[in-house]
Structure 1
Amino acid sequence: MQTSMRTDDVNGLHRRAFRSRTGTFVVLALLWAPSCVLASSQRAAVCTRAMAMKAMTEADSLRTWRAVYASYERYRSCDDGAIAEGYSASIATLLADHWATLGELARLIQDDAHFEAFVLSHVDETIILEQGIAIKDHATRQCPKGSKTFCAKLKRRLTP
């Protein structure tokens, strides 16, 4: 009798634990699913080896905001490691040495908020110190009227 009671207790605990785990699983699945949809909408595709090679070739040599945007559109799923450092180099050069082209960037980020986040994420610790100083100076002293919010975000990225 004691054995059967134990079995019932064990079975009862097992059933309760299973219900608990199932409920937890359902809750976790519901919390996780929206992030998967968001992630898939932000990522154009998987980064194949061929895409990574092409992205690596161009990421550090983009000379216009339109070129940066086109590369972002094609290879955003490859934005990692050396490729990301290449994007950072191109973006820092455009911001530091070609500030007059900020209007072109403003038009692109107005239509694509994810591109703004991409650009800001590449104002990072890999850029050259002198470029960081120049970018912060431009954002402080030469920010166009329609880009004040972007300039404020840029300055925050450059403030330790």
Structure 2
Amino acid sequence: MDFRYFARKRPPEEEPSLAVALRIDEYASMSAFGRLEAAKQAAVALYEFCTGCGIPIMVYGDTADRSKLEQMSVYAYVDFESNDPDDKYALMNIQARSNNRDGMALRILAERLLHAPQKTKLIISISDGQPKAMPDYTGEKAARDGISCIT
């Protein structure tokens, strides 16, 4: 509690107007090299930090099927509306599943986050960066899918 090096000598008193959305890629490749275990640990740490600070957090995982229908599955592990202290245990259900469609997943989280009343909104995405939802879901097609969530 040494405030010698800070411009403000008192601890902050105001509540931050922040909402956090964590997206975890549940593509099968995340199971390699301990990526998924690291993602779980990061999810638990972020959840504990946010709940300890009174910051609303939602944690979603996603996967895309290999079907020609390009179906997307989204798993809500923790959501803003829930006040259950046991929500954090749902984070242990995060697992590697099938393919992924990063752009669509980010769009879903962004739309959900837009309805939060907080002024500042933060999306964190944990992924290995390899979108593979269908044979041609790379490059320009994947970029367009993600860009539509930003505009």
Report the TM-score, using the length of structure 1 for normalisation. Answer: 0.32
Higher helix share: 1
Higher strand share: 2
Larger radius of gyration: 1
Higher relative contact order (CA 8 A, sep 6+): 2
